[in-house]
Structure 1
Amino acid sequence: MRIIGLTISLCAASMTVAEAPYPPSPVIADMVLDWSTHRREALGSDNWQLTWADDDHQYGAWGDGGGFGGTNSDGRVGLGFGRVEGDWDNYRGSNVWGGKDPENPAQFEGKSWGTICLDNVLYSWVIPDVPDTGGARDHYRYIQWAWSTDYAAHWTKADWRWWREDNLIIPTFVVNGKNNAGARDDYVYSYFIRPQNPNVTHASFGLKVHQPGALFLARVPKDRIFVGRDAYEWFTGLSAGQPTWGPLADKKPVFENPEGTGWCVSVIYNPGLQRYLLATEHTISHAGVMSLFDAPEPWGPWTTVQYWTESDRFGRTRPGSTLDWADNVFFFSFAPKWFSEDGRTFTLVFTGSGSGKNNDSLNTVRGTFQLRSPP
């Protein structure tokens, strides 16, 4: 599909990877956004990693706002789940769980940057606002599963957790198309951020880039998701080019960046390009200093698609967009339903820390990947 409208090449390939930790992508030469398609909804509500359910709608979590039709204060919940119906150019949103005039009330507080639909059930990684173990607000304290069998209307939490002391914080899933139909096998894969140190707290560290950056990769058979911690295997390295798996204590990073990883991350499989796309911050948070990497497998080898810097931030120029802007983007992902069949055309979903203004919202913009060679 060809984008019609005003576009901008964000960065020449030679500049894009100048400070990146991995070599240039052998498949994707550049990423071009059509800022005339920039749309903003749910002002005051951030995050919005989307999954594509079997009912053909997309679902995702927001934080600290009223969701669709709300504001930073009107309908505000710490955690809400919304439904996005329609195509990229005519979508509409509804508050399923929490927010302004919701279909169902929120049941608990927290945050999530990882939701998938698998065999008609929604699963979400949930972290706390104020932990039930006591103490102040702390997104880093622990991680829990939650699931919904009625498209986000009601959620149930697992009775076991991952802990900061496991050297793990704020995970996300690999999103694999509609109802996870594009999964490479019968495992569910999740990436966990390695904290800057295993004693880090929200109060002492804040929501900053963790340096040096590293991600851990876990997998679990899809029919054993809720069995417990021992059902999970962790990436422990490569042997003859193939991944090896072991217990939590033996885990090794699957992705590293000396300049850091953000405190949230997104990963999705692009079936048209047959590439996994991983997005996170580096160097500094809440500043549009983003990065996008790709790989043929969940464990790599990773290469660089785009590497924004403090002097060339995400959204630095946006010809065609008249929406208010600030350099505060900290998270982006891809809408799984809105990839073109060949994978070259996409809709980027991004959010920022605008304190109820500008990018503190659900933002979408259409774009294309320019390829070096066919996938």
Structure 2
Amino acid sequence: MPFPKICGTLSCASVIFLLTSNSWIIGEQPYPASPLVEGIRFDWTTHRRAAQGSDNFQLTWSDDDHLYGAWGDGGGFGGSNSKGRVGLGVARVEGSAKDHRGVNLWGGAASKRDATFDGKSWGMIGIANKLHMWVVPDKPPGKTYRNHYEMIELASSGDYGLSWNKAPWRFSASDDLTIPTFLNFGRGNEGVPDAFGDYVYTYFIRPRNAQMEQEGGNGVGLIVHQPGALYLARVTPDQLRSGRDCFEFFAGFDQDDQPRWDSIDRKRPVFRDAEGVGWCVSACYHPGLHRVLLCTEHGESKAGMLGIFDAPTPWGPWTTVEYYTQSMPFGAQREGSRWPWKNKVFFMAFVTKWFDGHEFTATFTGAGLGKDNDSFNTVSGRFLLRKE
């Protein structure tokens, strides 16, 4: 199913063929193959698991050289699905990719501070000596049930995750926006290319419809949103907390094929996938490849059906690095991993601190009610580049 011209390129659906024991299965990628990265090779002997019962953990690299990230519905490092359980917690991850340890800061087992509000986060960024995270609610005000889709708030910390305060404004589902993530760069958010400008970038998922709820009367659960689309917004670092009107949204391209930026009501999708986009997304910039890397689900949630895409700019043009399918989900082949596994992964992110040339260490997490991939998982690998 071809798409029209998006992000300055004709995004003809590329077809991948997966050989099974019975037949050839055809699956469609939303964008052509990456001209730079042929694929990814994971080294599953490096698979580590911690914080069993806690999920999410999108990490940002702060100026103090530590990593910080939020988890949901568990006790974090040293906790379990019940021990130290909080709806939203924040941890610090110290050390190298091969030798790291987690410390609970805000909520969780033996944490340094108690968590002061609930919710979930799949987007955190460190800018200079401040941390910021997008937060969606567990139970919105006036509701007795969960609805992550209802609104989006920004929480910030000036003491490296020990305390958090929310900005007095929010985005909402009525804006046709839901569960966002930040585009992460280097240490303290350094290394933003000049061509991108002095901005903080955020990708927002377009909800299937603005009235949908996670639970309640028309509850649909946490789903892949179809037809899938992502919006992109930017704001200068000094105005990040100033108000929603300070955000400019991608609004298509001008006659010179340059991105236009406009108000929220003039936004246009910056990414599309007819198979949908997940209820969570991750995005980062690889300084060696000079590419933005974006990960999200498609087709079905909590089934390892991840897509990994790359682009030279935050607004594209997008190409496909990997597109995992129902027949060949993420982690289907993992020789060397000693951990139990059920195919329920829904989130993966690359860690900018742990890029080493073409090698990387990624985090991933999944469903499992306190078991298997409902945890903090890391695995190292290598980007396989195309031969000239």
CA distance in 1, matches of 2:242, 2:102: 34
Compute the displacement of 1:153 (Å).
0.2
Residues 2-17 of structure 1 correspond to what in structure 2 (within 5 A)? 15=17
- 1:187 alignment partner in structure 2: 199
Compute the displacement of 1:14 (Å).
5.4
CA distance in 2, matches of 1:92, 1:235: 38
Q: Secondary structure at the match of 1:19?
A: strand
- 1:364 alignment partner in structure 2: 378
Select the residue among 154, 164, 174 that pairs with 1:145. Answer: 154
- 1:221 alignment partner in structure 2: 236
Query: 1:210 and 2:247 equivalent?
Result: no
What amino acid is the match of 1:274? H
- 1:8 alignment partner in structure 2: none
Query: 1:353 and 2:379 equivalent?
Result: no
Query: 1:120 and 2:129 equivalent?
Result: yes
CA distance in 2, matches of 1:322, 1:92: 19
CA distance in 2, matches of 1:297, 1:283: 26
CA distance in 2, matches of 1:113, 1:71: 20
What amino acid is the match of 1:114? G
- 1:29 alignment partner in structure 2: 38
Answer whether contact 1:26 1:373 (CA < 8 A) is retained.
Answer: no
Compute the displacement of 1:136 (Å).
1.8
Taking every aligned residue pair, what percent have the same amino acid on both sides? 54
Aligned length: 360
- 2:271 alignment partner in structure 1: 255
Answer whether contact 2:16 2:29 (CA < 8 A) is retained.
Answer: no
Query: 1:233 and 2:248 equivalent?
Result: yes
- 2:49 alignment partner in structure 1: 40
CA distance in 2, matches of 1:135, 1:181: 42
Residues 235-314 of structure 1 correspond to what in structure 2 (within 5 A)? 235-239=250-254, 240-314=256-330
CA distance in 1, matches of 2:141, 2:360: 39
What amino acid is the match of 2:127? L
CA distance in 1, matches of 2:387, 2:69: 33
CA distance in 2, matches of 1:86, 1:229: 36
Answer whether contact 1:49 1:349 (CA < 8 A) is retained.
Answer: yes
What amino acid is the match of 2:208? Q
Answer whether contact 2:251 2:260 (CA < 8 A) is retained.
Answer: yes
Answer whether contact 1:53 1:120 (CA < 8 A) is retained.
Answer: yes
Query: 1:81 and 2:53 equivalent?
Result: no
- 2:211 alignment partner in structure 1: 199
Compute the displacement of 1:119 (Å).
1.6
Compute the displacement of 1:308 (Å).
0.4
Answer whether contact 1:66 1:100 (CA < 8 A) is retained.
Answer: yes
1:135/1:249 CA distance change after superposition, 3 Å: farther
What amino acid is the match of 1:112? S
CA distance in 1, matches of 2:62, 2:344: 30
CA distance in 1, matches of 2:338, 2:170: 44
- 1:7 alignment partner in structure 2: none
1:34/1:15 CA distance change after superposition, 3 Å: farther
What amino acid is the match of 2:126? C
- 2:29 alignment partner in structure 1: 20
CA distance in 1, matches of 2:46, 2:137: 34
Q: Secondary structure at the match of 1:159?
A: strand
Post-superposition CA distance 1:209-256 (Å, at most 9, x none): 000000000001111111111111100001222100111110000000
What amino acid is the match of 1:245? W
Q: Which of structure 1's runs of 4+ aligned residues deviate more than 2 A? A: 13-18
CA distance in 2, matches of 1:281, 1:120: 32
Select the residue among 353, 363, 371 that pairs with 1:337. Answer: 353
Answer whether contact 2:91 2:103 (CA < 8 A) is retained.
Answer: yes
What amino acid is the match of 2:189? N
Compute the displacement of 1:134 (Å).
2.9
CA distance in 2, matches of 1:48, 1:182: 22
Return 5+ residue gaps in structure 1 as ranges. Answer: 1-12
- 1:322 alignment partner in structure 2: 338
Select the residue among 175, 179, 183 that pairs with 1:170. Answer: 179
CA distance in 2, matches of 1:104, 1:334: 28
- 1:63 alignment partner in structure 2: 72
Answer whether contact 1:57 1:85 (CA < 8 A) is retained.
Answer: yes
Post-superposition CA distance 1:322-341 (Å, at most 9, x none): 1000000000001111001x
Query: 1:94 and 2:103 equivalent?
Result: yes
Answer whether contact 1:214 1:256 (CA < 8 A) is retained.
Answer: yes
RMSD: 1.3
CA distance in 2, matches of 1:225, 1:24: 34
- 2:21 alignment partner in structure 1: none
The TM-score with structure 2 as length reference comes to 0.91
CA distance in 1, matches of 2:207, 2:99: 39
Compute the displacement of 1:67 (Å).
0.2
Q: Secondary structure at the match of 1:249?
A: helix
